[in-house]
């Protein structure tokens, strides 16, 4: 645990801290990154450069030191005891970190308003690799093996009146790679829904670019068949005064590992990262968020909620927030909550907060995992509501906070029904 986390937990409110509450920090902050770290192109003074060649990063205790490279050979063999892999069940991971991903990628179908440009491009397209550098071996493996990328562009100044739907449908279990690029040009506004269904073993890179003043809601739905294995690196570059709402919903799949990253490339940006997951018996649903504050006067908020039921249901949330020395005026908060519905489940929740400057508006984190609130159940049952119905109401209310963030009625209704099916399955 970093010293900055200890300081945050020592704060009286234990939930939110501002500059006056960060004990031990001067106006220059406490440096957590070695001085030799160099600037990168993915967000101010990043510790990793952007290059289609070798890797960058200083291996240290800071999240900024994580290796990033397009070359698979730069990443050492995964043994399972590494910080970024210690929760992932590698024996069930389909070899996505280790074998050639030569299978057929999931079929891609795009339904979009007529203003949106949709293209299938090769690896040499300049937009591919413009927003993301692989940060783990599964992502680098996908980069090494994908053959074609889907590029979706929201034109400058356009406000879409309907969502863009990118549906990926898997039809096999041979390990494969996929690549998607979403670009919201300057001043564009819209919603993009990235859906995943069917049977697949796939490692995917999703690059998202928000140019200056753009506002984008990106919803990633994981509704795979029960035996599917999915790794998805989703990296977003946020321009000046741009606003991102990124929502992850993981319901299907045997093993799902999502790694959403938001990087501020200019001042004034906003990022909201929301997540909902519901793990049944034997499912492993893992989410690792990273918000990289490398620019001044940016705002981020992370909220992930999960429910678990059934023997060996497993969820993992690791939330990293890095506030660099340059990021004065930052306002950041992250929270994870898990609701355990039956015995035999396990939820791991690890919030990490690194602060390199004391000149911020505020920063904090919270994490909670527990069973039903007995008071809530008693209140409902005392009014004649049967216990099983009362439990459903509590879970529905707990998860609905995330669903209603989407803002697309048809998708919200679909997900509400999906949660009801999960709850009904638990009753059987």
On whether both 124 and 154 belong to a single domain, the answer is: yes
Is residue 64's pLDDT more than 70?
A: yes
In what order do the strands lie in the sheet containing 164-171? 107-111, 164-171, 189-199, 215-224, 243-250, 270-279, 299-308, 331-340, 362-370
Asked whether residue 315 falls in the same domain as residue 400, the answer is no
Q: Does the pLDDT of residue 290 top 70, yes or no?
A: yes
pLDDT bucket at 61, cuts 50 / 70 / 90: low
Same domain for 408 and 272: no
pLDDT over 90 for what percent of the chain?
76
Q: What are phi and psi of 417, to 5 degrees?
A: -65, -35
Percent of the chain past pLDDT 70, that is, above it, reads 85
End residue of a domain, out of 370, 393, 408:
370
Residue at a domain's end among 326, 344, 370: 370
Q: What is the mean pLDDT of residues 332-350?
A: 96
Same domain, yes or no: 422 and 355: no
For the whole model, what pTM was predicted? 0.86
Task: Check pLDDT > 50 for residue 357.
Answer: yes
222: left (phi over 0), alpha (psi -120 to 50) or beta: beta
Residue 15 has pLDDT above 60, yes or no: no
Based on the domain organization, do 265 and 355 belong to the same domain?
Answer: yes
Lowest pLDDT segment from 7-21, 47-61, 89-103, 244-258: 7-21
Q: How far apart are CA 380 and CA 392, in angstroms?
A: 11
CA distances from 206 to 6, 68, 152, 231, 233 (A): 34, 15, 11, 11, 6
Give residue 427's pLDDT band: very low, low, confident or very high (50, 70, 90).
low
Q: Within this chain, do residues 414 and 309 fall inside the same structural domain, yes or no?
A: no
Say yes or no: 390 and 270 in one domain. no
Q: Give the model confidence (pLDDT) of 224-245 as tens digits.
A: 999 999 999 999 999 999 999 9
Co-location of 345 and 417 in the same domain: no
Statement to judge: residues 107 and 151 lie in one domain:
yes
Average pLDDT, the chain: 87
363 and 414 inside one domain: no
> 324, 350, 370: which is the final residue of a domain?
370
Residue 153 scores a pLDDT above 50: yes
Structural domains of the chain, count: 2
Structural domain boundaries, residue 380? 372-428
Residues 344 and 382 in one domain: no
Residues 23 and 94 in one domain: yes
Look at residue 388 in the predicted model and tell me its pLDDT.
81
pLDDT at residue 386 in the model: 86
* Confidence tier at 424 by pLDDT (50, 70, 90): confident
In whole angstroms, give the CA distance from residue 23 to residue 8: 8
- Nearest 5°: the CA angle 407, 408, 410 is 145
């Amino acid at each position: 645990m970093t010293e900055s986390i200890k300081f945050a937990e020592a704060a009286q409110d234990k939930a939110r801290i501002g500059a006056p509450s960060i004990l031990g920090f001067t106006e220059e902050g406490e440096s957590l990154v070695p001085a030799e770290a160099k600037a990168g192109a993915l967000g101010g003074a990043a510790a990793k450069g952007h290059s289609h060649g070798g890797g960058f990063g200083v291996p240290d205790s800071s999240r900024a030191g994580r290796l990033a490279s397009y070359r698979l050979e730069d990443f050492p063999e995964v043994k399972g005891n590494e910080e970024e892999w210690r929760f992932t069940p590698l024996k069930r991971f389909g070899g996505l970190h280790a074998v050639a991903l030569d299978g057929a990628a999931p079929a891609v179908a795009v339904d979009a308003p007529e203003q949106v440009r949709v293209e299938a491009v090769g690896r040499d397209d300049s937009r591919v690799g413009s927003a993301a550098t692989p940060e783990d071996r599964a992502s680098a493996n996908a980069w090494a093996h994908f053959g074609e990328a889907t590029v979706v562009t929201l034109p400058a100044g356009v406000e879409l009146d309907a969502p863009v739907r990118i549906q990926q449908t898997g039809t096999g279990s041979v390990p494969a790679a996929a690549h998607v690029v979403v670009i919201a040009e300057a001043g564009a506004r819209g919603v993009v829904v990235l859906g995943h269904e069917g049977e697949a073993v796939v490692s995917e890179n999703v690059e998202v670019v928000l140019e200056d003043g753009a506002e984008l809601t990106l919803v990633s739905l994981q509704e795979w068949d029960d035996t599917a294995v999915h790794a998805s690196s989703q990296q977003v570059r946020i321009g000046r005064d741009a606003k991102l709402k990124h929502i992850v919903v993981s319901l299907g799949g045997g093993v799902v590992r999502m790694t959403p990253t938001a990087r501020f490339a200019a001042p004034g940006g906003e990022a909201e990262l929301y997540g909902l997951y519901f793990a049944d018996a034997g499912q492993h649903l893992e989410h690792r968020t990273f918000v990289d504050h490398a620019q001044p006067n940016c705002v981020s908020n992370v909220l992930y909620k999960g429910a678990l039921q059934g023997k060996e249901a497993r969820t993992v949330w690791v939330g990293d927030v890095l506030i660099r020395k340059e990021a004065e005026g930052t306002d950041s908060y992250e929270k994870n909550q898990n609701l355990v519905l039956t015995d035999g489940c396990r939820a791991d929740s690890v919030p990490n907060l690194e602060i390199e400057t004391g000149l911020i508006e505020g920063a904090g984190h919270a994490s909670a995992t527990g069973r039903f609130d007995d008071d809530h159940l008693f209140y409902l049952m005392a009014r004649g509501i049967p216990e099983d119905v009362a439990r459903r109401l509590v879970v529905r209310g707990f998860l609905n906070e995330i669903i209603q963030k989407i803002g697309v009625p048809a998708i919200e209704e679909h997900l509400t029904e999906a949660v009801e099916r999960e709850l009904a399955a638990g009753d059987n």
